[in-house]
Structure 1
Amino acid sequence: MKNFKYPFMVLLGGAMYGTMSSFVKMSYTWGYYAAEISFAQALLSALFLGCIPGKTALRGKSWISLLLTGSAIGLANFLYYQSVSYISASLAIVILMQFTWFSLLLEWIIFHQRPGRPELITVFFILTGTIMAGDLLREGALAISWQGIAFSLSASLAYALYIVANSRVGKGGNWQTKSALIMAGSALTIFVINAGTISAHNHFGAGFLLWALFFSIVGTTIPTALFAVGIPKIGAGTSAILMTIEFPVAVLCAHFILHERITLVQVTGIVIMLAAISVMNYFKSLKR
């Protein structure tokens, strides 16, 4: 039972991440916007994580790198939340999952780590599964909001930047310090980009605070703590595979909460994508 505890933590954290897009889309019916939701989520998470004891000092100017890393995840969250106001939550998560091969591309361009043939083959299957899971063939180009596609693709690229940067910065401090600074950088970036929108709409009342607390606790603080405890125990490769649970959870939540339709073709595409992503993470773990 003890051996299952740490994998369960990673699974639970990924599942909690997966619920966010549906609840964010639901909050839009209350008149809220992606900018204020993502900003409040990041700010409250930074405060919560900053209050957790056990912080240690960082070496040199690592805090600057962590703030910049937070900028990437802040941009990813804002763009992802923005995308679900134009396209379905299930399609948004399908496109977001392209971060898996975006991260390979970035490592190739920045660090000259060329992907091998197995990784290139899995990218082909990810793209094939994306077309099926997004139901793009049935919907057709005219039925899709390309603005929403652009937002979710941009979110995927920003998320890939975050993953690449997060694996290389802040190694001198513990997870509390690192996570709090990343969330602070996330909140700052979202505010700088959307200061006008956040100030103009001014929805910061009791109802909005409840939504913000939910998103920050369920969508950031608890998963961050679960990952911080579980990932070091089971390894990055196994964790990356387990964290793909975010994908089916997001699609299922979109179906049951938002009543978005799921076809057999989409389910088949999801299975293909999950299998391909798992294989990719397996080959990446062999290189470590």
Structure 2
Amino acid sequence: MEKLKGALAVFLGASSFGILSTFVKKAYGQGLTLGEVTGIQVLFGMLMLWLIFIVIKLFSGKSFQSSTKKSSWVKILISGTSTGLVSVLYYKCVQLVPASLAIVLLMQYIWIGVVIEFIFFKTKPSKNNLIGIGIVLIATLLATGLIEKGLEDLNLTGLFFGFLAATAYSVFMIVNGRVGNDYHPIQKSAIMVTGSCILIFTLFPPNYLFNGQFDANFMHFGLILSLFGTVIPPLLFAYGLPKTGFSLGGILSSAELPVATCMSYFILHESVSFVQWIGVLLILGTVILLNAAKSSTH
């Protein structure tokens, strides 16, 4: 029963990430800019995560002191800039290409992470990983519509930002797994989002907070984007992943891809062809098979 609860939590956390691109598109449609969308998300998210952590610390009666020496919070703060970079690059991609394409580009972290680990950590990819990378690359050609439409119908700048976002996401996942694991998950998330907030406010000064521009529209999208992108996923993952294990968790977290594609198709009414759906399903199947293979080796 506990494993089922954990699986549901991870699935809902991934689905939460999946709906983000749709709301980002809607925010752009209401006249918000890239700096405003990313800024209000991290600001609201940072405030909510710190509030949740303080409440837990005050009322749970549990000690958050680790028996081992805690790693530097500064390292966690700096590593949090990678999440801010993901938001900026991914939301720029969403601005330029359909949301259904943006999520496919972000999913390229599957093979980019393997390449980064090989270059910097000398971790050789397994045979299964190499096969998976090959399938993902072929599936991407289908899912992006490149085979059907050719390059002339695709926004090359959007593709570029999509691949940059996937690279930043790979770095985030690698760093996140190595830094601050001796902190409470909510505290770690709050520190990382604080680092993200510092980066985004440096890139895009939040003048809208002081010039009277901040209105109900900002509040509306700030709450939605921060809840579904910054607050709910880490809370659900922190609860669910210890119960499911990382292999099953990896399979369930791939729900982000079909959820984002379905949202863009049904809510934004973007065109997703049959061939593109095949590509999406191939990527999804590869994630499931790779994580299932990891599970069988443990």
Q: TM-score range by the shorter chain?
A: over 0.9
Whole-angstrom distance in 2 between the partners of 1:232 and 1:210 = 33
Aligned position for 2:40: 40
How far apart are residue 203 of structure 1 and its match?
3.8
Q: What letter matches 1:10 in structure 2?
A: V
What stretches of structure 1 move > 4 A for 4+ residues in a row?
57-61, 196-202, 284-288
Q: How does 1:63-74 map to 2 (within 5 A)?
A: 63-74=73-84
Aligned position for 1:56: 64
Whole-angstrom distance in 2 between the partners of 1:233 and 1:258 = 35
Aligned position for 2:161: 151
Q: Aligned to 1:84, what secondary structure does the other structure show?
A: helix
**Match 1:189 to one of 199, 220, 228:** 199
Is residue 275 of structure 2 the alignment partner of residue 265 of structure 1? yes
Q: What letter matches 2:255 in structure 1?
A: I
Whole-angstrom distance in 2 between the partners of 1:61 and 1:236 = 23
Query: Cα gap change, 1:203/1:115 in structure 2, threshold over 3 Å: closer, same or farther?
Result: farther
- Structure 1-normalised TM-score? 0.94
Q: How does 1:1-288 map to 2 (within 5 A)?
A: 1-52=1-52, 53-54=56-57, 56=64, 59-195=69-205, 203-285=213-295
How far apart are residue 57 of structure 1 and its match?
5.2
How far apart are residue 254 of structure 1 and its match?
0.3
Question: Could you give the per-residue CA deviations for residues 144-164 of structure 1, whole angstroms, max 9, x where no partner exists?
Answer: 111111111111100000000
Whole-angstrom distance in 2 between the partners of 1:201 and 1:285 = 53
Question: Could you give the per-residue CA deviations for residues 223-260 of structure 1, whole angstroms, max 9, x where no partner exists?
Answer: 21111000011111111110000000000000011101
How far apart are residue 60 of structure 1 and its match?
4.9
Q: Aligned to 2:268, what secondary structure does the other structure show?
A: coil
Q: What letter matches 1:121 in structure 2?
A: I
How far apart are residue 200 of structure 1 and its match?
10
In 2, are the aligned partners of 1:21 and 1:250 still within 8 Å (CA)? Answer: yes
Query: Identity percentage over the alignment?
Result: 34
Q: What letter matches 1:125 in structure 2?
A: I
Higher alpha-carbon deviation: 77-86 or 247-256:
77-86
Question: Could you give the per-residue CA deviations for residues 2-56 of structure 1, whole angstroms, max 9, x where no partner exists?
Answer: 4421100100111111000011001111110122111211121111111122383
Q: Aligned to 1:170, what secondary structure does the other structure show?
A: coil
Q: Aligned to 2:228, what secondary structure does the other structure show?
A: helix
How far apart are residue 195 of structure 1 and its match?
2.4
Whole-angstrom distance in 2 between the partners of 1:250 and 1:104 = 24
Q: Aligned to 2:110, what secondary structure does the other structure show?
A: helix
In 1, are the aligned partners of 2:34 and 2:91 still within 8 Å (CA)? Answer: yes
Whole-angstrom distance in 1 between the partners of 2:164 and 2:43 = 22
How far apart are residue 201 of structure 1 and its match?
8.7
CA RMSD of aligned residues (A): 2.0
Whole-angstrom distance in 1 between the partners of 2:232 and 2:147 = 38
Q: What letter matches 2:160 in structure 1?
A: A
Structure 1, unaligned stretches of length 5 or more?
Answer: none
Q: What letter matches 1:123 in structure 2?
A: I
Query: Cα gap change, 1:115/1:84 in structure 2, threshold over 3 Å: closer, same or farther?
Result: same
Q: Aligned to 2:96, what secondary structure does the other structure show?
A: coil
How far apart are residue 166 of structure 1 and its match?
0.3
Higher alpha-carbon deviation: 132-141 or 12-21:
132-141
In 1, are the aligned partners of 2:71 and 2:179 still within 8 Å (CA)? Answer: no
Q: What letter matches 1:248 in structure 2?
A: P
Query: Cα gap change, 1:207/1:200 in structure 2, threshold over 3 Å: closer, same or farther?
Result: same
- Structure 2-normalised TM-score? 0.91
In 1, are the aligned partners of 2:82 and 2:172 still within 8 Å (CA)? Answer: yes
Whole-angstrom distance in 2 between the partners of 1:201 and 1:253 = 34
Whole-angstrom distance in 2 between the partners of 1:209 and 1:226 = 24
Structure 2, unaligned stretches of length 5 or more?
Answer: 58-62
Question: Could you give the per-residue CA deviations for residues 100-153 of structure 1, whole angstroms, max 9, x where no partner exists?
Answer: 111111111121111012110110000111111111111211111111111111
Whole-angstrom distance in 2 between the partners of 1:112 and 1:202 = 52
Higher alpha-carbon deviation: 27-36 or 250-259:
27-36
Whole-angstrom distance in 2 between the partners of 1:268 and 1:201 = 48
